[in-house]
Chains A and B, each alone.
Chain A
């Protein structure tokens, strides 16, 4: 079956712009999590959506937002981009059940954002 699909794979933006990243989870997976990965900070959790509701949120400023649609596809948005937002943004889906840790996360290949 198809894996997690993230688009776009690469993008370049300038400071102050905004960006929207998209993630299509594995069919049947209702949980989608977003991570920021940088060489210095490793994988940092942004937020998790389950059945169109944000279930958990990491320690990122309000410029980072997301949403999930009824088909489980998810988008994340970063407004007023800063140089420090340059990173690989990873989306992961899982067979989450309500209120519990499910086990395996399936990651997409990521969207590499460069902010100039």
Chain B
């Protein structure tokens, strides 16, 4: 069974700090996605990484896919209160259904 483990589960930091959250598995994934979910909303796709070693940047957010395609990280530079939310990683299993990590709840304090 493919599993995705996210760490940390919870992170609370001050505005302006940098942070990294992780998404790890013992299984290889053809791709991984990162979603952000804000309170009262459904998750929204931030990025899809498909190539081992790939790095994608979305403004202050940097996403990396591990060389072996078993893990991914999300780095936020100079975090802002608007970055607050639940960050979820997901990857497709052999039946093309998404497997989800439990998420990292991020709070950025002004």
Contact = CB atoms under 8 A, between A and B. Distances in A.
B98 A103 contact: no
Interface string B68-110: 0000000000000000000010101001111011110000000
Classify chain A: how many residues form its interface, as a range.
Answer: 20 to 34
A56 B102 CA distance: 21
A99 B48 contact: no
Nearest to A56: B97
Contacts of A4: 42
B29 to A, nearest CB: 11
Interface string A92-109: 100000011101110111
A66 interface: no
Nearest to B45: A104
A109 B92 contact: no
B97 A105 contact: no
Interface string B16-34: 0000000000000000010
A4 B33 CA distance: 20
A109 B41 contact: yes
Interface string A74-116: 0000000000000000101000000111011101111000000
Nearest to A96: B96
Contact of A108 (B42, B48, B100): B42
Interface of B: 33, 35, 40-45, 48, 88, 90, 92, 95-98, 100-103
Interface of A: 4, 33, 41-43, 45, 48, 56, 90, 92, 99-101, 103-105, 107-110
